[in-house]
Chains A and B, each alone.
Chain A
């Protein structure tokens, strides 16, 4: 498989994830509006929950931008470079931040007794935390491997 086709697949994956995120974003808006219909007095709680949910998108969007930049690196046939390793490490950091954000958000919501945040959502958040941690660890390992590969590549480039 050529580097250009790999880059095209990475871009397709980034676009796919972006579409899923947009769908999730719309779903959160619709479901929180529905929540307001059933509980019209819960404006403040729904607003807090919305802010919490939308905040969770920030690391995802940053990770998608970083993924796009990695695709650009692959297109230029610079897959094994320090820049790619840094981008992968940054995605890992984003995933760790996402896990931490969801965890802290749930703790705060539990402390302030936001009943709107029911058991099903807490379970979904726990799943998201596990997925984010798995992604973070996978990307951290990948970043390490790419870093080592970049060092070997540099050494090879400086061998005449």
Chain B
């Protein structure tokens, strides 16, 4: 499964979810869904905006974890 590490990046950048959602240009509700991994897909434009706002690469935000791993 793909895990979105927004929490980690937010902590590293000392940024709030509200601030990130404003910078990225998505609603707080959508940011919350994104943060909690309750979405089905991320647009490349959203990923681009996230990377720009958090000054990171997609690899920093997305992580693959095997479903079998405990």
Interface centre among A155, A159, A160 (most CB of B within 10 A): A160
With a cutoff of 8 Å between Cβ atoms, the chain A residues found around residue B39 in the complex are: 158-160
With a cutoff of 8 Å between Cβ atoms, the chain A residues found around residue B34 in the complex are: 160
Residue positions of B touching A, CB distance < 8 A: 26, 30-31, 33-34, 38-43, 46
The answer to whether B42 and A159 touch across the interface, beta carbons within 8 angstroms, is yes
Q: How far is the CA of A158 from the CA of B36 in the complex (A)?
A: 12
Cβ contacts A43-86/B at 8 Å (1 or 0 each): 00000000000000000000000000000000000000000000
The answer to whether B43 and A159 touch across the interface, beta carbons within 8 angstroms, is yes
With a cutoff of 8 Å between Cβ atoms, the chain A residues found around residue B42 in the complex are: 159-160
With a cutoff of 8 Å between Cβ atoms, the chain A residues found around residue B40 in the complex are: 155, 158-159
Question: Taking CB as reference atom, which chain A residue is nearest B47?
Answer: A160
Q: How far is the CA of A160 from the CA of B30 in the complex (A)?
A: 6
The answer to whether B43 and A158 touch across the interface, beta carbons within 8 angstroms, is no
Cβ contacts A to B, 16 pairs, < 8 Å: A155-B40, A155-B41, A158-B33, A158-B38, A158-B39, A159-B39, A159-B41, A159-B43, A160-B26, A160-B31, A160-B33, A160-B34, A160-B39, A160-B41, A160-B42, A160-B46
* Given A158-B33, A158-B40, A160-B42, 18 further pairs, Cβ under 8 A: A155-B40, A155-B41, A158-B38, A158-B39, A158-B41, A159-B39, A159-B40, A159-B41, A159-B42, A159-B43, A160-B26, A160-B30, A160-B31, A160-B33, A160-B34, A160-B39, A160-B41, A160-B43
With a cutoff of 8 Å between Cβ atoms, the chain B residues found around residue A158 in the complex are: 33, 38-41
With a cutoff of 8 Å between Cβ atoms, the chain B residues found around residue A155 in the complex are: 40-41
With a cutoff of 8 Å between Cβ atoms, the chain A residues found around residue B33 in the complex are: 158, 160
Question: How far does the Cβ of A82 sit from chain B's closest Cβ, in whole Å?
Answer: 16
Question: How far does the Cβ of A40 sit from chain B's closest Cβ, in whole Å?
Answer: 71
Cβ contacts A123-146/B at 8 Å (1 or 0 each): 000000000000000000000000
